[in-house]
Amino acid sequence: MVVDMIHHLRGAQGYSDSKGIFSARTAISQYYQTRGLMQIGVEDIFIGNGVSELISMCLQAFMENGDEVLIPAPDYPLWTAAVTLTGGKPVHYLCDEDENWWPDMADVEAKITKRTKAIVIINPNNPTGAVYPRHILEQFASLARKHHLALFSDEIYEKIRYEDAQHIHTASVAEDVCCLTFSGLSKAYRMPGYRAGWVAVTGPLAATLAYREGLELLASLRLCPNVPAQHAIQTCLGGYQSIDALIRPGGRLREQRDRAFELLTAIPGVTCVPAAGAMYLFPRLDPDLYPIKSDEQFVLDLLQEQKILVSHGSAFNWPRPDHFRFVILPAVEDIEEAVRRIATFLSAYRNSAAD
CATH of the domain at 228: 3.40.640.10
Considering the domain architecture, whether residues 68 and 133 belong to the same structural domain is answered as: yes
Considering the domain architecture, whether residues 300 and 206 belong to the same structural domain is answered as: no
Distances (CA, A) of 280 to 161, 296, 298, 314, 326: 11, 18, 19, 15, 6
Considering the domain architecture, whether residues 7 and 150 belong to the same structural domain is answered as: yes
- Residue 14 pLDDT level (bands cut at 50, 70, 90): confident
Rounded Cα gap, residues 58 and 71, in angstroms = 15
* Confidence at residue 354, expressed as pLDDT on a 0 to 100 scale: 60
Helix (H, G, I), strand (E, B) or coil at 292: coil
* Confidence at residue 12, expressed as pLDDT on a 0 to 100 scale: 64
Which domain range does residue 19 map to?
A: 2-238
Count of domains in the chain? Answer: 2
Considering the domain architecture, whether residues 90 and 44 belong to the same structural domain is answered as: yes
Q: Dihedral (C-alpha) 257, 260, 266, 271: value to the nearest 10 degrees?
A: -60
Among 207, 238, 269, which residue terminates a domain? 238
Q: Which residues, 6 or more positions from 86, have their beta carbon under 8 angstroms from its beta carbon?
A: 56, 59, 60, 63
DSSP-derived secondary structure letter, 275: P
Q: Which residues, 6 or more positions from 282, have their beta carbon under 8 angstroms from its beta carbon?
A: 74, 101, 127, 128, 129, 272, 273, 275, 313, 323, 324, 325, 326
Rounded Cα gap, residues 78 and 349, in angstroms = 31
327 touches 279 (CB < 8 A):
yes
Rounded Cα gap, residues 180 and 56, in angstroms = 13
Mean pLDDT across 56-79: 96
- Tell me, yes or no, whether 280 lies in a domain: yes
- Residue 6 pLDDT level (bands cut at 50, 70, 90): low
- Residue 349 pLDDT level (bands cut at 50, 70, 90): confident
The pLDDT of residue 15 is above 90: no
What Rg, from alpha-carbon coordinates, does the chain have? 21
- Tell me, yes or no, whether 64 lies in a domain: yes
Q: What is the pLDDT of residues 213-272, one digit of tens each?
A: 999 999 998 888 888 889 889 888 987 788 999 999 999 999 999 999 999 999 999 999
Find the CATH number of the domain harbouring 265. 3.90.1150.10
Considering the domain architecture, whether residues 104 and 51 belong to the same structural domain is answered as: yes
Among 238, 258, 292, which residue terminates a domain? 238
Considering the domain architecture, whether residues 193 and 321 belong to the same structural domain is answered as: no
Rounded Cα gap, residues 249 and 302, in angstroms = 32
Rounded Cα gap, residues 19 and 281, in angstroms = 35
Percent of the chain predicted with pLDDT > 90: 82
122 touches 101 (CB < 8 A):
no
- Tell me, yes or no, whether 233 lies in a domain: yes
Considering the domain architecture, whether residues 89 and 51 belong to the same structural domain is answered as: yes
Q: How many residues does the chain have?
A: 355
> Which strand (E) or helix (H) includes residue 103?
strand 102-103
Nearest to 198 by CA among 38, 56, 61, 54: 54
Mean pLDDT of the chain: 93
- Residue 9 pLDDT level (bands cut at 50, 70, 90): low
Considering the domain architecture, whether residues 175 and 306 belong to the same structural domain is answered as: no
- Tell me, yes or no, whether 112 lies in a domain: yes
Q: In what order do the strands lie in the sheet with 324-327?
A: 280-281, 324-327, 311-312
The pLDDT of residue 182 is above 80: yes
Considering the domain architecture, whether residues 7 and 115 belong to the same structural domain is answered as: yes
- Tell me, yes or no, whether 243 lies in a domain: no
Helix (H, G, I), strand (E, B) or coil at 233: helix
Considering the domain architecture, whether residues 290 and 184 belong to the same structural domain is answered as: no
Q: What is the pLDDT of residues 288-337, one digit of tens each?
A: 999 999 999 999 999 999 999 999 999 999 999 999 999 999 999 999 99
Mean pLDDT across 41-49: 96
- Tell me, yes or no, whether 177 lies in a domain: yes
